[in-house]
Structure 1
Amino acid sequence: MMKMKLSPPAKINLSLRILGKRQDGYHEIETLMTFVTLEDSLELELISEGKVTLECEGQEAPSDHTNLAVIAANAYLQEAGLKSGVKIFLEKHIPSGAGLGGGSSDAASVLRGLDALHDGRIGRASLSSIAAKIGSDVPFFLGYAAAWCRGRGEVCEPVSFSGFDRSVLLVKPPFSVSTNWAYSRLENAKKIPGLPYDSQSSPWGDLSNDLEVPVFEKFPLLGIIKRWLLERVEVEVALMSGSGSTIFAILREAEAADHLMIRIRSLFGSQTWVSSCKTQFMHL
């Protein structure tokens, strides 16, 4: 019996620029992403039966064939020419529809784990090719930790931010945002007066997220949360991650996290999900 446990990390987009629409229907992007220490828990077990099964607990996520972890396992077995199967146990801590890449991270961990269990049968290049077909964020999660990602997100250039790790607050109201919807609204969206969109200076460069314009237009609460965070002296940077609905804040001091979490829940409601974690610039 061969098993492996993995800890798929969440990510935040420190910056996200939309450069235009491509002929294939996707958008050309340039984004700076990094892992954070919020993680799912995933266990793989090889079985003789030629099927993939999933048991999923925790944060809401599909537990059928539409789950990216299952899609990744089936894609790996097909690419490797294997007739065996896999049992996947997934404990979700990363919320879905949050812009934190939880599903993509799970898929990448399945690919890495299965290749390790099969002694590197298909290798990194094939893993990257499979990952890009599953989703635009999946190649990043194969182990870059921090990278500029271009194309539709699948072309990753690792970067090093040694010494720049920070404490991070993640704030997600009780709703999700569809990535496809957010991109579809780019051309017609308008900024809401009084909400913050300007680029922010940081040790990682000038940071902004072009998707805030369409998302804040429909969900102004996200812009209000971002504005409130930026007004706090403890906060160095605050932005929406990906297409939302998570707003993250990079803190000047880790000690500020606890009291900010209490204030956020008090102001924005007990159903608002808040988590404290850290950037994780070390590569897997």
Structure 2
Amino acid sequence: MQPPLKLQVLEQRKRRYQRACRRKIAAAKVSMGLSRNAKLSKGVKLPVSNNLRKAYWKVGRVTEHAANVRKDWQHKFTTSIVRENQTIAMESLYVRGMTASAKGSADKPGSNVKAKSGLNRSVLNAGFGEIARQLEYKAVWAGRTVVKIDRWYPSSKRCSSCGYVLKSLSLSTRQWVCPDCGQSHDRDLNASINILMAGKAILAGADGEDSRMNKTGGFPGLACGASKDAKRRSRISRPLALKQETSLAKGYAIGLRRPGIPTLPVLARQPKS
């Protein structure tokens, strides 16, 4: 799962526009007789030129474009997953902790701050939380099953062949060999296999160490904004337009008439005389 490259292009363009904004702000400070890096005191207003307004408008426009590209990719990605699979197993990731800043404090400065900021940007660009939310309500619409695995389940450290669990596994380690059975693993592929097996174990009613995992069965869409007729929609056999989210769009998906707009009669075409 890789976000589109268009997001990287838009991110670079946004940075360029933001640098232009900072240059224009510095020029406005110089025109007031201040230094370029001086902080404005309370109550002092910076003269805003038309060029500065245009620069801010460009930043807002490219930000909106990136949001639309990300939203379109997320909907296409989640729709394809729901249409091609009957059971979907995913890990409940702690995105806020994954994207925490590594800057640290003045007493204890952090390490690898620049690399961590790049990782945080990549995680936020993917939008794991939004993808999980869309998978849940689209699975309800299409009659699929969604299984959520606990975040503490050792999906990356556990060998998918023999079940051996490593004591520690750094984030930079992308390949590792099981010391018990000697099987070589790709970190992400091994984690996906373990998550799938854990999801199947939950559906089979297994106990033990998998009992800490969570299963969202029934109609989890009620917890993410779906209406009460989700059960009725899930029984519809014909394909639905899974990209709509609003209640009105859901009415379109099941063939309801738009409220407030009368239905016009279909007139037969008169033959030419």
Smaller-chain TM-score bracket: under 0.3
Which structure's CA Rg is the greater one? 2
The structure carrying a bigger helix percent of its residues is 2
Structure with larger RCO (C-alpha < 8 A, sep 6+): 1
Q: Structure 1-normalised TM-score?
A: 0.24
